[in-house]
Amino acid sequence: MARFALGIEYDGSRFCGWQTQKSGCSVQDAVERALSAVAAERVATICAGRTDAGVHATAQVVHFDCDVARPDTAWVRGVNAHLPDAVAVQWVRVVPETFHARYGALERRYHYLLLDQPVRPALNRDHVGWIHQRLDIAPMQEAALALTGEHDFSAFRSSECQAKSPVRHLRQIRIERRGDYVVFELAANAFLHHMVRNIVGTLVYIGSGRKVAGWAYEVLESRDRSLAAPTISGAGLYLTGVDYEAGFLGQVPSRSVWFNVPGL
């Protein structure tokens, strides 16, 4: 029995999320069907981060076990031949049996792309968030500094979150403007359910002038989800990187989100 790791890219707008569903509509369902077709036996996968419906990935990492010998090309191009066009394997590696895509991850990185212009988008509607008001990123950057570090992020977790602890180490929140887009980059050891989208939504309230920069820390300290801003759309969210110890995968390939957005 050998253990393999795969890097996977997908357009989340075409799926009902990562995690398997009875209807078979998830990314995991599509990937496992394709792997099973190549292996000629049932293959189960475990991913680094279970993304929600509409959320995308440029660098999802999964692992699976299989005792069938296949060349690497079979696990990439062969699997891709059985996948719908909205998901594709990018690379494969043989890993130690102790490797675990989820529990072995040291850090995960997400990008959120937000278009702030008066008119809603059409071509990019499933791949960017949108707000009609121009945002001021300076107070948003100030607020982001107060959220970094190790904290109880209960105020930014969904009521459906199943994590045993709300404590996470948020290493970085970068916010920059690129033309009519505001780009958020968040890196943490792990994220709670809806944590990225709830943080971005709260920062948008600040950037729009509805709240001052210090409000973000007040919300964090309250540990009360009802005090934070609403959860922002999943359309602009991308899982863009996962890091592991060098003995497993080391710095695995990350991929830019910019290919989805004309002009970036």
Best CA proximity match to 103, nearest among 57, 50, 170: 50
Helix (H, G, I), strand (E, B) or coil at 128: coil
Element (H, E) at 4: strand 2-10
Catalytic residues, by residue number, are 52
62 φ, ψ (degrees, to nearest 5): -130, 160
In this structure, what token pair is assigned to residue 9?
């890219």
**Environment class of residue 203 by beta-carbon count within 10 Å: exposed (0-12), middle (13-18) or buried (19+)?**
buried
Count CB atoms within 10 A of the CB of residue 206. Answer: 25
